[in-house]
Structure 1
Amino acid sequence: MTDDVFEVHRARGPFNAAFFSPLGPFIEWNLRRHKRRVYSELPHTVVELGSGVGANLRYLRPGSTLVAVEPNVPMHRRLRAAAARHGVRLDLRERLAERTDLPDDSVDSVISSLVLCTVADPAEVLAEIRRILRPGGTFRFVEHVAARPGTPTRALQRALRRPWAWTFEGCSCERDLAGLLRAAGFARVDIEPFRLHTPFIPFNTQIAGVAHA
């Protein structure tokens, strides 16, 4: 990975694009209640970090604009098709979340789901979000996080951390993202922890919420 370019692995990149297309409805079924809450009443233009194949387009109103910061090129074809199906104008940017190239104080709302686990430096991404949000803007997130220390889920996350990260483009199941969000300098951060019940146990400890600039 260079400063501004995501280097797509010739096997993992296409695999993840193909994997998350059929798996998307299953993940969405598990997360939909929390996404409906935190993604309610989004503005006309939304910035999304790691748009993937477009799982969150359903939460935007038809005619809205999605500024999609998605560096993984194998995702782009499916993302464009999904935007067309949902009637959303797509402004697709092949950039890293750490350097969106958007102006300071220019965005009303940033969203992410299952993205902060994969970025190289989540604290740097949160600083970038704060930079581009206008005062009063919001960062709305649904992310998977490390389980509590001493729990069986935490032990499994630690045991699987290397193969999990290799398969899912550097995804970490051991990050304290709630702590990072609270330390990032937002005016207020509202976080709800919750747990999924899926076969993907390292993925089952989650948070959803809104950070206010």
Structure 2
Amino acid sequence: MTEASVLFLRTCLVLLAMPIYLLSFLGIWQPFCKKVFFPFFLEKLFTIHERKAKKHKQELFHNLPDFKSPSGELKLLEIGTGCGVNFQFYPPGCKVTCTDINPNFQQALSRSIKKNQHIHYERFLVAAGEDLHQVPSGSVDAVVCTLVLCSAHNVNGILKEALRVLRPGGAFYFLEHVAADHSSWKYFWQQVCYPTWKLVFDGCCLTRELWKNLERAGFSELRLQHVSIALPWTPIRPHIMGYAVK
């Protein structure tokens, strides 16, 4: 588990992925990735991830109704909605505003909306989580962010925006893959895969210690646990999940 062995294996992986690096150099890979590959792959990956993470998500979202506003409504904003895989876990009547930086998810999102008629879909905003200026301050009861912070340009910026749009007493829900223990083989392979994985999967970082960002974000209460989600042949098994109250 030396730096030399990490560098050697990284180089081998780069050589295997050389066609993608070449397409990236030519400026072809990123547009193709955002429009075609990433939406298609993410929908397939989320199918597997949802099967493995279903019990965790049921546990995570079971108390969402506790954060209804005094009027009895639950207004929810989801950052990085993607294909809408979380809709099935939201309580009936929940009013959902969806955001994503990539507008190419809307076709898959439409399929999820049709499957989940128990929620009230309000609108889709093409927006980065770091800039939710279209959402008024203190206007939502819950913010949901799953498998998004790994590729965010500014994690702290997203958490700051989540705090802004939440009403006092509202909650920020999260489920994210994170860095493994530094002494483990999982972390070793995360380091090996890091550059190529980040290129192929649209900026996804494997070694972020996101629990530290959450601890420093300024929430009044943080409920966080480390879990492992069995995703064979991938370096994204370690996760954190929980919620933080404004």
What is the deviation of 1:41?
Answer: 4.0
What's the TM-score once normalised by structure 2's chain length? Answer: 0.79
Rounded to whole Å, the distance in 2 between the matches of 1:185 and 1:133 is 13
Of the candidates 143, 148, 168, which is equivalent to residue 110 of structure 1?
143
State the distance in 1 between where 2:51 and 2:176 align.
Answer: 15
Q: Alignment partner for residue 181 of structure 1, among 214, 221, 233?
A: 214
Distance 2:87 2:31 in 1: 27
- State the Cα deviation string for residues 22-50 of structure 1 (Å, max 9, x = none): 33221001111111112124353210010
CA displacement 1:72-92 (0-9 Å, x = unmatched): 111111102211221131410
Partner residue, 2:86? 56
1:149 matched residue in structure 2: 182
Q: Does 2:37 align with 1:9?
A: no
In proportion to residue count, which structure has more helix? 2
Deviation at 1:53, TM superposition (A): 0.7
Aligned to 2:197: 164
Give the whole-Å Cα distance in 2 for the aligned partners of 1:143 and 1:162: 19
Match of 2:123 in 1: 91
Identity, % of aligned pairs? 28
The answer as to whether partners of 1:144 and 1:207 remain within 8 angstroms in 2 is yes
The correspondence for 2:57, drawn from 28, 31, 35, is 35
Deviations 1:95-153 (A, max 9, x none): 00001121111111001111110110101111111111111100011110011112111
CA RMSD of aligned residues (A): 1.5
Q: Secondary structure at the match of 1:157?
A: helix
Partner Cα distance (2:56, 2:244) in 1: 15
Once residues 45 and 173 of structure 1 are traced to their aligned partners in structure 2, the CA distance between those partners, rounded to angstroms, is 31
Preserved contact between residue 109 and residue 138 of structure 1 (Cα < 8 Å): yes
The answer to whether the 8 Å contact 1:105/1:132 transfers is yes
Query: Could you give the per-residue CA deviations for residues 153-174 of structure 1, whole angstroms, max 9, x where no partner exists?
Result: 1111111111111111101111
SS of the aligned residue for 2:212 comes to: helix
Please list every run of 5 or more consecutive structure 2 residues that lacks an aligned counterpart in the other structure: 1-28, 69-73
Indicate whether 1:205 and 2:235 are aligned. Answer: no
Could you tell me which residue of structure 2 aligns to residue 4 of structure 1? none
Amino acid at match of 1:11: F
* Contact 1:62/1:86, CA 8 A, preserved across alignment: no
Secondary structure of the 2:168 match is strand
1:80 and 1:90 in contact (8 A); partners too: no
**1:200 deviation in Å?**
3.9
Deviation at residue 62 of structure 1 after TM alignment: 4.3
Tell me, which stretches of 5 or more residues in structure 1 are unaligned?
Answer: 1-7
Question: Structure 1 residues 34, 156: CA separation in 2 closer, same or farther (over 3 Å shift)?
Answer: same
Greater radius of gyration (CA): 2
Q: How many pairs align?
A: 206
